[in-house]
Amino acid sequence: MLYILAGPDDFSVSAELEKLKKSAGDSAILSTNTTIFEGVQVNFDDLKNACETVPFLSDKRLVIVYNLLEKFAVKTSSGRNIGSKKTETQNFTYEMFAGLLNKIPESTLCILIENEIRDNNPLYRMIAPTAKIRSFPALKTIELQQWANQRVIDEGGSISPAAVKLLTRIIGSDLWILSNEIIKLLLYADGRRIEEDDVNKIVAYTQQASVFAMVDAIIEFNLQRAESLVQQLLKDGESPIGLLSMLNRQMRLIVRARELKNLKVSETEIKSRLGIGHEFILRKTLEQAQRYTLPRLREVYGQLLETDIAFKTSKYEGDLALNILIAELCHQTNPTSTPKVLTKART
């Protein structure tokens, strides 16, 4: 039987994979009948052999292949991805892989795990009719809040609506981190309902998450939200020049991450090239890079960079200048190349 598990929500993909493993029988025996491949490098003969081998002392054999469809991704106008019937390194066509996957023996459970599915992928078009396809998109705001609330309930606790909103706003759609933070909150609350104050005290990355949220607000032209976040960070002790530096750094990471993603660079390599030390920051950066258009990202980054330079070469500093900058960044009419913030701030 052939399954395709696809989507950016790798937490739910992992949970679904575990369910399928359990359905295949005893985990100890199944481990001796499991083969895992990385799709881009997989050899057709090796995959064929793994799928057609009779399971040992078990009813089922498990074959897991990561990103096989990417091997046959259609070439775009920018030239990235492979669009021909043959890969650059192996003389195997997508028809051969489709013929194999469409005739998986009943004794084999073959699972393809993909970051995304494109309808124009030739291999996908040929195997979709026989595969069981399950998609796991990133959760939207309301869905994310519902997921977090249910997760707390499943763990035997309770959480206020305001705390759920704050928690999901800070962490975002990374369910791995969200789940871990919920466990910490439950331990801290020790039987009582989790409140907003608990989230502010316990949840890690609060300051960094506020910077992410501020970037979101600026790119989305949400002036009220951006100003609110600026004031909160200033109240917490951040300086205007410090906030500007953080915004500038984060926008640089987002722009570079988007460009590297467009070049199909792996997440591990992106993390290394950008010098990102923490998985949380990597996930949030990639999430923002995917969410917004590259022209808008470059526009905001360019304005921040110009103003950062002007700030550092000027005698004038203050939250007034920062607030004027935020207002201009959130204005839907493209500003002039000269940073108005300094001109306005000195008048």
Per-residue pLDDT at 227? 86
Half-sphere exposure (CA, 13 Å, Cβ side) for 311?
A: 23
Residue 125 phi/psi, 5° resolution?
-60, -35
Q: What is this structure's pTM? A: 0.56
Lowest mean pLDDT among 80-84, 256-260, 294-298: 80-84
Question: For residue 198, how far is the Cα from the chain centroid?
Answer: 26
Contact 106, 1 (CB under 8 A): yes
77: confidence class by pLDDT, cuts 50, 70, 90? very low
pLDDT of residue 263: 87
For 198-228, how does the pLDDT look when each residue is reduced to its tens digit (9 = 90+)?
998 887 566 666 777 888 888 888 888 888 8
The Cα 323–Cα 327 span in angstroms is 6
Evaluate if residue 310 carries a pLDDT over 80.
no
Beta carbons within 8 Å of 133's beta carbon, 6+ residues apart: 3, 4, 6, 117
What domains are defined for the chain?
A: 2-135 (3.40.50.300), 141-204 (1.10.8.60), 207-346 (1.20.272.10)
Confidence at residue 153, expressed as pLDDT on a 0 to 100 scale = 95
The confidence score (pLDDT) of residue 328 equals: 82
Mean of the pLDDT values across residues 158-187? 87
The 3-class SS string of the chain reads: CEEEEECCCHHHHHHHHHHHHHHCCCHHHHHCCEEEEECCCCCHHHHHHHHHCCCCCCCCEEEEEECCHHHHCCCCCCCCCCCCCECCCCCCEHHHHHHHHCCCCCCEEEEEEECCCCCCCHHHHHHCCCCEEEECCCCCHHHHHHHHHHHHHHCCCCECHHHHHHHHHHHCCCHHHHHHHHHHHHHHHCCCCECHHHHHHHCCCHHHHHHHHHHHHHHCCCHHHHHHHHHHHHHCCCCHHHHHHHHHHHHHHHHHHHHHHHCCCCHHHHHHHHCCCCHHHHHHHHHHHHHCCHHHHHHHHHHHHHHHHHHHCCCCCCHHHHHHHHHHHCCCCCCCCCCHHHHHHHC
Q: How do residues 311-321 score in pLDDT, each as one tens digit?
A: 665 545 566 77
What is the pLDDT, as a whole number, of residue 335? 39
CA distance 239 to 245: 10
Our measurement of the distance from residue 300's CA atom to the centroid of its chain's CA atoms, rounded to an integer in Å, reads 21
pLDDT in tens, 35-69: 888 777 788 889 998 898 888 887 888 899 988 88
Structure tokens at 327: 């207002």
